Amino acid sequence: MKQIIFWLGAILCIVGCSTQKGVVNIKNNNVESIVQDSLEYDLETFDGRFETWYQLHKSPAMYRSQQYYENWNRQYVSAWNYNAMGGRRNSFFEPIVGYEDNVDYGFELNHKLFYYFQYVEHVLKIQIMPGGPRAGVF
């Protein structure tokens, strides 16, 4: 009986650990205003630990320019999508990140996306691309 419980627990643990995917979704929310129409973007991550980690580690004293984050995000998104399309066997990269170069996502979204990539590389220890920056909060 103890062996059955042990094996059942081991199988549940393996299944539970292997089903977590690193999903990032940039969602555009249409917000209408009487004065003008504007577009807002949200970054959706499906890792509750990231949200907590991000709130604890973001610091205005360490902010860089929006252009800095955009440049790194372009590189990270390109590497992420390459990995998702079969460049690596790791299923963590399954979803494609929809980040377009010609769209101004604003400072906050670019900052949060950059920190998500840092979280994946330095906290989860999953390399997205070699030679990336370190945000200095690890």
- Residue-averaged pLDDT of the chain: 76
State the pLDDT at residue 34: 44
State the pLDDT at residue 12: 45
**What is the chain's Cα-based Rg?**
18
**26: pLDDT strictly greater than 80:** no
CA–chain centroid gap for 119, Å, is: 7
Is 14 part of a structural domain of the chain?
yes
Q: How confident is the model at residue 62 (pLDDT cuts 50, 70, 90)?
A: confident
Backbone angles phi, psi at 36, to 5 degrees: -155, 160
Is 30 part of a structural domain of the chain?
yes
**Count of structural domains within the chain:** 1
Is 133 part of a structural domain of the chain?
no
Is 87 part of a structural domain of the chain?
yes
Is 29 part of a structural domain of the chain?
yes
Is 136 part of a structural domain of the chain?
no
Q: pTM here? A: 0.69
Return the half-sphere exposure (C-beta side, CA atoms, 13 A cut-off) of residue 49. Answer: 7
More confident: 54 or 96? 54
Residue 79 sits in which domain range?
Answer: 2-123
Query: How many angstroms separate the CA atoms of 59 and 46, rounded?
Result: 22
Is 130 part of a structural domain of the chain?
no
Is 131 part of a structural domain of the chain?
no
State the pLDDT at residue 133: 84
